[in-house]
Homo-oligomer: A and B are copies of this chain.
Amino acid sequence: MINFQTAPERYQHWKLEVNGPVATLSMDVQEDQTLAEGYKLKLNSYDLGVDIELADAVQRLRFEHPDVAVVVITSLKPRIFCAGANIYMLGSSSHAFKVNFCKFTNETRCAIEDDSRHSGRRYIAALNGTASGGGYELAIACDEIYLVDDGNSAVSLPEVPLLGVLPGTGGLTRLVDKRKVRRDRADVFSTLAEGLKGKRAQEWGLIDGYFPTSKFAGGIDSRVAQLVSAQSANPSGIKLNPLEIESTSGSRHYKYIRVTLHREQRYADLTMLGPDGPQPTTVEQVQELGDAYWPLQAYRELDDALLHLRVNEPEIGLVCLRTEGRVESVLSVDQFLAANRDHWLEREIIVHMARVLRRLDLTAKSFFAIVEPNSCFAGNLLELLLASDRSYMLMDDQNSVAVSDLNTGALPMSNGLTRLQSRFLAEPDKTDEVFQKQRFNTEEAEEIGLITFAPDDLDWEDEIRVAIEERTSLSPDALTGMEASLRFAGPETLDTKIYGRLTAWQNWIFQRPNAVGPEGALTNYGKPTQAHFDYKRT
């Protein structure tokens, strides 16, 4: 079982140092500390375990070190920044694991960019040696990239020429869409195993600058100093404590999340509990409550539950989402958060909720929202319902669906739209109507289009049961492709391109004999034999 919880004192592959406004995150992968057998993490190559630590570090910087203005990502290994995802790990992983691994590393890259965008921290990739494959992809997730000019170090995306697969964490899309590298140059670069060094790499827009070895540290320091002086925040952070999880073979319970697994039937129930008891009413009280504050704790738990289901429960194809609690309590938390979103901690809490909800949108499982009496699909929790592939609401339910200010744009999908805008693409006025009315019983929710089905008491159990049985009988691959297509109507962004388009291509290529067959390039990597391709173009 893969555990997504960690903390800096337990990191094996990264060192996180914070000096006033500057954090340094140094990669020093321990080659024997792998998540599975059969490979060594040489040359700062990584597996999922390394990336779980990176994701944790980025998350902690936001909550525990809000005073940090600049994050330098570098390596403690001489002449190598990072060699990317470990090839032997990829070669020995199942298809589903490979795809989930790439998705999580992509989400970590997007989390870095989310931090730059929303919290203004600048990420500097200080490439003290070669950055290849996922190593360079990590660099292009940063705001600025500086490479040592030692006659040897280069940036490269060697996946196509060496492995017969694509750069797997958004590299191609970030190349032409984020850094806007000219497409013919991107073509040359992405087919050049050895990559490009200092001067040409800068000319082509692959890096922002380069320094000779003797001036590298100084060059980075002076760029950091420039960036720090432009920033000015210095609040103090809160501690992210370990989540408490009670796990049995059939369940996984957190404080606010209960997961029940029906493995035989290949579905899970996931119930999210609303806030209980009195909630803080000032930013100072929230700061004091820290990570025990409901919207932070509940969404950290949801995040962990989703990752657990993705990676450790691959046969669970459907998740029934339920909520329990008082609508008023959820709405009042949302009201407080919306009113205080200019304060650093409330902002971080909101953008964290947004990230977790996007993780849900991007999870390759079906989601049904089940609205019963005592539900509280209100405000931020309404997003669970809107993120679901469909929803069922018991006809007699009283007013357990409601909107708050957080539904107006604070929790956007990867395509930049709110989930209400996505839902009402054909009738944008409906969104206004929803906010005018605010709160809905079953008939009203069905009438305005917030829910899919509203069975009455007599049909309820049968209808849910049949819906679950039908869904879990369908081809899981076809469902994954269908959901990825239907969930993201409307505009596309860098993120949706990465998850929708690039991931799909990679899924395909990861299955092809030319990559993973007995004579495929991925299979043959590092062996004396050469890959053999079926050259038919598809």
Question: A residues engaging B (CB < 8 A)?
Answer: 94-96, 99-100, 159-161, 163-166, 172-173, 175-177, 179-188, 190-191, 205, 266, 314-317, 364-365, 388-391, 422-426, 449, 451-452, 470-472, 474-487, 489-492, 496-497, 500-502, 504-509, 511-512, 514-515, 521, 531, 533-538
Chain B residues near A515: list those with CB within 8 A.
Answer: 475, 477-478
* Pair A476/B537 contact, Cβ less than 8 Å: yes
B477 touches A512 (CB 8 A): yes
Do the beta carbons of A537 and B426 come within 8 Å of each other? no
A477 contacts B538, C-beta separation under 8 Å: yes
- The chain B residue sitting closest to A538, CB to CB, is B96
Chain B neighbourhood of A481, CB < 8 A: 166, 502, 505-506, 508-509
Once bound together, how far apart are the Cα atoms of A159 and B480, in whole Å?
13
CB distance from A409 to the nearest CB of B (A): 19
* Closest residue of B by beta carbon distance from A424: B182
- Docked pose: A426 CA to B100 CA in angstroms: 32
Q: A176-B425, A475-B515 are in contact. Are A486 and B160 (CB under 8 A)?
A: no
Smallest Cβ-Cβ distance to A175: which chain B residue: B486
Taking a contact as CB atoms under 8 Å apart, the answer to whether B390 and A188 are in contact is: yes
- Partner pick for A187 among B266, B389, B497, CB 8 A cutoff: B389
A-B contact pairs, 14 of them (CB 8 A): A164-B478, A166-B478, A182-B424, A182-B449, A266-B535, A364-B537, A475-B531, A476-B514, A476-B537, A478-B509, A481-B505, A481-B508, A501-B501, A501-B504
CB distance from A381 to the nearest CB of B (A): 17
Taking CB atoms, residues of chain B closer than 8 Å to A483 are 187
Q: Which residues of chain B are within 8 angstroms of A100 by Cβ–Cβ distance?
A: 538
Among B99, B176, B390, B485, point to the contact of A173 (Cβ < 8 A): B485
Copy number in the complex reads 2
Pairwise interchain contact B317-A535, C-beta atoms closer than 8 A? yes
Question: In this complex, what residue of B is CB-closest to A471?
Answer: B191
- Please give, as numbers and ranges, the residues of chain B lying within 8 Å of A501 by CB-CB distance: 484-485, 500-501, 504
- How far is it, in angstroms, between the C-alpha of A317 and the C-alpha of B537 when the chains are bound? 6
Given contacts A471-B191, A490-B177, contact A476 B536 (CB under 8 A): yes
Flag if B485 contacts A502 (CB, 8 Å).
Answer: yes
> Does the CB pair B176–A538 fall under 8 Å?
no
Q: What residues on B are CB-neighbors of A534 within 8 Å? A: 476
CB-CB under 8 A from A177, the residues of chain B are: 489-490
Q: Check if B475 sits within 8 Å of A514, measured CB to CB.
A: yes
- Residues on B with C-beta less than 8 A from A475 are 160, 164-165, 509, 514-515, 521, 531, 533
Contacts A96-B536, A160-B478, A511-B511 known; 9 new A-B pairs at CB < 8 A: A160-B474, A164-B478, A166-B481, A183-B487, A184-B391, A185-B452, A191-B470, A492-B496, A508-B508
